[in-house]
Amino acid sequence: MRKKSDIIIVAKIASTSFTNYINAKLRYIFIYICMYLIILMDFFKDDQPELASEFLKRAAKGGHIGAFYVIVNIFQNR
């Protein structure tokens, strides 16, 4: 029979793992959001349009919906 303390230890480990998982996912999402914002600034300032275009494609591949929207609008208006 398991002790109450064993169950508490298992629960703490599971919650720590879940917290680590969520933090990792948030960091991953944050990277794409930051990349997207930098891209927009570069693209519209016309500093480095080729580089901005490349990063925009990367952000879109990473699942950033705003990047998809910008790509569609760019190609639609050409």
- The pLDDT > 90 percentage for the chain reads 0
* pLDDT, position 15: 64
Confidence of residue 67 (pLDDT cuts 50, 70, 90): confident
DSSP output for 12-27: HHHHHHHHHHHHHHHH
Rounded Cα distance between 70 and 26, Å, is: 23
Residue 2 in this model has a pLDDT that exceeds 70: no
Q: Which residue has the higher pLDDT, 77 or 35?
A: 35
* pLDDT, position 37: 74
2-8: long-range contacts (C-beta < 8 A, 24 or more apart)?
A: none
Dump pLDDT digits (tens) for 34-66: 777 777 776 667 767 777 777 777 877 877 777
